[in-house]
Structure 1
């Protein structure tokens, strides 16, 4: 199916290139979204699964497809010659058919298999390759009235969270360049997306997400030292937990049935009568958060004293894992 779509796409581009003298077919294009067509009406826009950049110049097409681990789609980087004959395109001895291609100033639509239309957005005509490595850096951004952080903890992992919740997402990340165009590639279990790096101004990174509406983001590197309060360290005994789920009381292996935690500089140990679970952690001053890296969970410190600690968190992997609970501890 993917192969058929791929060559249908190439055919569509070729037909337009040969029959339309307007040179706006040439340039760099990025897939944005697709739609299923019902009669003559477009339905809901859906995020593309096959994320790729297309470079069209003369009779050559370069296809740079990014890997999508979630759907086991491998990366591709290939350049193909194309010719048109009797309304058919021949590329490396492969043939395919297409229904309709429309080219506009900043986008291109391709309809294939009778009922699927894919929209590509046109990248800027010129671009300057950027030298940016976010590894080990923390960035802050504002979307609407919500403040979010992106922590690129190492060469492959990034943690994303808002300051008004205890939810956190883990992404795989890397930087890729296609000619002079630079992209931040993010992938999680929700899917993958390439963000175009528009520019870098001091400690600010300007990004564009060409998916659907083409949102723009500004990441600002956080310079504040994220030093955890020394009062956190030590051995803490659970005395109470709010919002207890009766089902968890019958499951001694539930991660929420902890009885004790031991907080050290490099790890937090969770214990009850049946298990010991360790997680690396990191503290964030804004929001008073603790990131539990190995659990991909957030805990908010709502109370911290010499002998008392209250954490808002939920360690379970069940569907209600985003519902906060209060864990009340005393120092042992």
Structure 2
């Protein structure tokens, strides 16, 4: 049975769970508590929501490996599981079990929060992941944008499912003058930065997989535009991310009139986000081997994790 779990990229699933937990308890709960309010979704509903998201994502990883076997045999043969340790029929069956369980749990939670239409989110995500593996990832820009968009949805899901329950307390919200835009800005900001960094990382991975994608005729950004142009696209995406971070931090300080000056956030963002992104830009521009691109991809993932850890800093600052 353990061989099947090699297909689901368990570390990535833990990151998904951690993202949802930290966004819910470090961002949403912290902001609500500032207005004397509490989270309304029962803990067991939230656990089911996290499991649903993880299961659908796991199903996506399995089906991606199923359709990506030929490319992986060229790009990273040591990681291939489908066709070696797990039969192709077994992989399809595993994908269906994971996806169906995820959709079922997501549907149950959607009905529990009084928004059955939210169940479409899980149906559509499972479908998009299937078509990503079969079609989208072979199309110029489309595959990269799909993965970036789905990654950006992860921090949004806790807020999407919390909103209907908060809405039933409209009178309390009015009395406490809760500005829901504050929550949307913070969670939406995380979604935006997740989108941008994932987009950059996906293009880096495409350069790393250039050999296999070329052999199979895939129309990825490096194959279509060349490696040099792809590097410039990555550098542009990361530069825009830095500019957006500067704008967001300035808005946080001045529009919200933060006093005293938040030196803790400034120091954290400069040391753990800004400087690593600059290093990442130069790492990509100077990269010349698969090993270099793999290191750059790993650094990008670390930056995303460091951004997630900032939620702990945020709660500390607010409580302080």
Q: TM-score range by the shorter chain?
A: under 0.3
Normalized per residue, the structure richer in strand is: 1
Which structure: larger Rg?
Answer: 1
The structure, 1 or 2, with the larger RCO (C-alpha pairs under 8 Å, 6+ apart) is 2
| TM-score relative to the length of structure 1 | 0.21
| TM-score relative to the length of structure 2 | 0.22
